[in-house]
Amino acid sequence: MLQRLNHVALAVPDLQAAVATYRSMLGASVSAPQSLPEHGVTVVFVELENTKIELLEPLGENSPIAAFLAKNPKGGMHHLCYEVADIVAARDRLVASGARVLGDGEPRVGAHGKPVLFLHPGDVHGTLTELEQV
């Protein structure tokens, strides 16, 4: 079911500062910021040869990232994203196995314009897990 690792997401309190770090200090290529109001975040992607790093900054007061940053003011790893061929089939298999899908259980369009779902961290050994259909 799982294919390759799509990205590692890091919540950051200051997106511009994080972008500067990745570009200047680490010499990485970083995408333009993209606001995703339906997810409550602004994101950029650090493009690496074998995967991506997604930098997340809260967008709006109801952002789920704001709560994460309240507990982790300097930021940190927020979630892992894995690719799947068929997100509905993956969801159905996971739910049948007892996993909890966050939200209403229906895929939403993610930052790459593809369907995504999130799995409850309690069902994946403490790690918030995103699935993205490719």
pLDDT digit string (tens) for 2-26?
999 999 999 999 999 999 999 999 9
Question: What is the C-alpha separation between 47 and 8, in angstroms, rounded?
Answer: 11
* pLDDT on residue 61: 83
Segment 31-57 shows an average pLDDT of: 96
The total of other beta-carbon atoms located within 10 Å of residue 109's CB is 12
Percent of the chain with pLDDT over 90: 96
Segment 62-72 shows an average pLDDT of: 93
* pLDDT on residue 129: 98
Q: Which domain holds residue 27?
A: 2-133
CATH number for position 65: 3.10.180.10
What are the residue numbers of the active site?
130
Q: How far apart are the first and last CA of the chain?
A: 12
| pTM of the predicted model over 0.75 | yes
Q: Please give the structure tokens belonging to residue 50.
A: 């074998």
Count of positions (residues) in the chain:
134
- Look at residue 27 and give its three-state secondary structure: coil
- pLDDT at residue 131 greater than cutoff 90: yes
Segment 36-58 shows an average pLDDT of: 96
Q: How many independent structural domains does the chain possess?
A: 1
Q: What is the pLDDT of residues 79-117, one digit of tens each?
A: 999 999 999 999 999 999 999 999 999 999 999 999 999
Percent of the chain with pLDDT over 70: 100
Mean model confidence pLDDT for the chain: 96
Nearest Cα residue to 31 out of 10, 11, 51, 52: 52
Distances (CA, A) of 90 to 4, 11, 49, 64, 130: 14, 26, 27, 24, 12
Ranges of beta strands (E only) in the chain are 2-11, 29-30, 34-36, 41-47, 52-58, 76-84, 108-109, 115-119, 129-133
